[in-house]
Amino acid sequence: MTHIAFIGLGRMGGPMAANLAKAGREVRGFDLDPRLRGEAEPLGVQAMGSALAAAQGAAAIVTMLPAGEAVLGVWREVLACVDRPTLFIDCSTIDIASARLAHRLAQDAGHPSVDAPVSGGVAGATAGTLTFMCGGEDSAFEKARGLLADMGQRVIHCGEGGLGQAAKICNNMMLGATMIATCEAFALAERLGLSDRTLFDVASVSSGQSWSLTHYCPAPGILPTSPANADYRPGFMAALMLKDLGLAQAAAESVGLETPLAALAARIYALYVERGEGESDFSGVIRMIREGLPE
């Protein structure tokens, strides 16, 4: 059996690689951080000394990295040395231009490729319940589907290369805006003397309903599982929401579309991160809204 190479063993990539191993696949992993390489070993991932060493002879190469630059760097390094057709899958959230370039590089070298960003966060990566949004040719998607299913619950083909990233960016643009709107509604209700519980009971069965409200309520004491009940420990870090809103703004600009609400959401998350809250959960922005935005 040929192995899977997994590059980027961080908060998401670590548990994802472990789930591939748990599903019976041979996994060779690499991360720049030696501590993470060490932590992957007991989870069934063979730690290698470089991305290239992990990729040599692999059936598929999965990347889970912070940004487009890192993905392109690793793909370029590996593409130059892989001599038989190998499936390239990038699960990172990156800008659409880099995603398209990565596909082009793989295609030019004769390899199938899929962009497959995820929704579900660290909890979903650990539980193996991620949603994958995939872009790439039908044949590449079919090759990737089984492998992705070992790490998640839903694997959706969104269209050609780059459209997985498009789906992810559009989804998180809605999430960022609905979370802020939900936080503002709770802050207003509190000032008006309406309890958090009553607003939740009404809005969760009315037209103000959203995932931000019913699955991730930003007010504490309503949903036991929401980060609001754990002093806004993530969850989904505010810095990552800011990153995704930045990607959405860049994408909108690239096609000449104005998205004023998402632009404002990005500005609000930038202010929140500037306050030193980048590592707290994105729903914690309710605290800044209650206090008032800085000038």
Residues with a known catalytic role: 168
Which residue in the set 2, 33, 231, 274 belongs to the binding site for ligand NAD (CB under 6 A)? 33
Least distance between ligand NAD and beta carbon 68 (Å): 9
Which residue in the set 22, 26, 32, 190 belongs to the binding site for ligand NAD (CB under 6 A)? 32
Site string for ligand NAD, 120-159 (x = CB under 6 A): -xx-------------------------------------
Question: For the chain, first and last CA: distance in Å?
Answer: 60
Which tokens hold the place of 177? 């805006």
Size of the site for ligand NAD (CB under 6 A): 26
Q: Cβ-closest residue to ligand NAD?
A: 10
Query: Which stretch in 27-35, 37-45, 152-160, 250-258 sits in contact with ligand NAD by CB under 6 A?
Result: 27-35
65 contacts ligand NAD (rule: CB under 6 A):
yes
Cross-strand pairs, 60: 4, 87
Least distance between ligand NAD and beta carbon 168 (Å): 8
Find the binding residues for ligand NAD in span 150-209 (CB under 6 A).
none
Least distance between ligand NAD and beta carbon 275 (Å): 20
Which residue in the set 17, 40, 70, 72 belongs to the binding site for ligand NAD (CB under 6 A)? 70
Radius of gyration of the chain from its Cα atoms, rounded to whole angstroms: 20
Least distance between ligand NAD and beta carbon 125 (Å): 8
Lookup result for tokens 């001599």: 83
Residue 33 or 142 having the CB closest to ligand NAD:
33
Least distance between ligand NAD and beta carbon 171 (Å): 10
Find the binding residues for ligand NAD in span 233-292 (CB under 6 A).
236, 240, 243
